[in-house]
Structure 1
Amino acid sequence: MAKLILTHEVTGLGEPGDVVEVKDGYARNFLIPRKLATPWTKGAESQVNAIRKARKSREIASLEDARAVRDSLQAKPFTVTVKAGPAGRLFGAVTTAEIADAIAENGPKVDRRKIEVGQPIRNLGDYSVSVRLHPEVAANVTVKVVAAS
């Protein structure tokens, strides 16, 4: 078992700054090469504290604030303009970064890593995506995908 410090959020494993124990192969072949984690050392305690402090500054502080942001996000749809073919099929797929940019234009800034898209968005139309604002609060946001003119 390898002991690691997470530097990014890993679904099902933990948040940045968490110290986790995972199997050696998972650490060596997935987490460390993708810079999602660093090996744990005794001197890394200051690094863990810095990561936690940075995470707290980015997080929505309270449950009430998260609910207020959720209500504002769910109140209106957000539009993403992309290149599309004549049949309405996209050239590629809509990314979470594009969705985060569309939300930031008309609403609060949202981290792209907090946006969860069920199926890849590859056609024009309306889609529902989930935005995790707080461990207990998620917003279902309507995204309208329209063709660039």
Structure 2
Amino acid sequence: MAEKACRPNAGAAALNFFRGRRARSRLPGQQDFGAPRRTYKLAATKCRTFTGGIAVQVVLLKDVPSLGKAGEVVSVAEGYARNYLIPRKLAEPVSPGKLEELQRVRQQREKKQAEMQRRAEKVAAALKDRTIPVRVKAGEGGRLFGAVTAKDIAGALQRECGIAIDKKQVALPVPLKEIGTYPVTVRLAPGVSVTLQVAVLPE
């Protein structure tokens, strides 16, 4: 007996017909996501992403791993900017006013960094080859009742030279546990460090 030809389900055919009419009623490139969504005005660049989409420029409001730091202008896929970065307030669209503001902030930051660099170099010149005494309790044989730490050296610099630094700026691999003089490096600023002598003396 010959098998009957399989006919398409009437309900499925009607649904496909309705979808086809709705798809034809949309403009080219328009997508149907149901309820209207908030839109953002993005300035497209002339380049395209590796997937063929349009790349846009945004300014980062916060640090984004593998993308950039706050204040940087980066190019990303339009969908990534519209659907992820901007709604989460990680970035905002680039505008002429925003670019001018970023330029002013960048210039102020560079000026401040240059001033800090000059001060650090001046302090480094003053501390070079200088000996900083640190007095501690010690027993026989020069063994200390404790140890001299980075915090102790930072405090000695404050007392002896009036220079306030954080203990993290003192490069001290291990605490000093005996009487003697030790070379210690102090990091004053990025790219600026000085090696001074720390004299551990008994009280």
TM-score range, shorter chain: 0.5 to 0.7
The residue type paired with residue 170 of structure 2 is I
Offset, 1:75: 4.3
How many residue pairs get matched? 100
Matched, 1:116 2:176: no
Moved over 6 A (4+): none
Distance in structure 2 (CA, Å) of the matches to 1:90 and 1:68: 34
Which of 127, 133, 155 is matched with 1:73 structurally? 127
Which of 116, 123, 129 is matched with 2:184 structurally? 129
- Give the secondary structure class of the aligned counterpart of 1:81: strand
Distance in structure 2 (CA, Å) of the matches to 1:69 and 1:97: 19
Distance in structure 2 (CA, Å) of the matches to 1:60 and 1:121: 35
Offset, 1:142: 0.7
Are residues 60 and 111 of structure 1, via their aligned partners in 2, closer, same or farther at CA, if it must alter by over 3 Å? Answer: farther
Distance in structure 2 (CA, Å) of the matches to 1:66 and 1:101: 18
Offset, 1:61: 3.9
Q: Percentage identity across aligned positions?
A: 33
Matching of residues 1-149 of structure 1 within 5 Å: 61-107=115-161, 108-148=163-203
Offset, 1:85: 0.9
- Give the secondary structure class of the aligned counterpart of 1:63: helix
Q: Could you say what the CA RMSD is over the residues aligned between the two structures, in angstroms? A: 3.0
CA contact (8 A) 2:184 2:198 kept: yes
- Give the TM-score taking structure 2 as reference length: 0.43
Distance in structure 1 (CA, Å) of the matches to 2:136 and 2:114: 30
Gaps in structure 1 of 5+ consecutive residues = 1-17, 22-41, 44-58
Distance in structure 2 (CA, Å) of the matches to 1:94 and 1:106: 16
- Give the secondary structure class of the aligned counterpart of 1:87: helix
The residue type paired with residue 128 of structure 1 is P
- Give the secondary structure class of the aligned counterpart of 2:128: helix
- Give the TM-score taking structure 1 as reference length: 0.57
Gaps in structure 2 of 5+ consecutive residues = 1-61, 66-87, 90-112
Are residues 20 and 117 of structure 1, via their aligned partners in 2, closer, same or farther at CA, if it must alter by over 3 Å? Answer: farther
Distance in structure 2 (CA, Å) of the matches to 1:60 and 1:141: 24
- Give the secondary structure class of the aligned counterpart of 1:84: coil
Which of the two has greater strand per residue?
A: 1
The residue type paired with residue 200 of structure 2 is V
Are residues 147 and 20 of structure 1, via their aligned partners in 2, closer, same or farther at CA, if it must alter by over 3 Å? Answer: farther
- Give the secondary structure class of the aligned counterpart of 2:152: helix
- Give the secondary structure class of the aligned counterpart of 2:195: strand
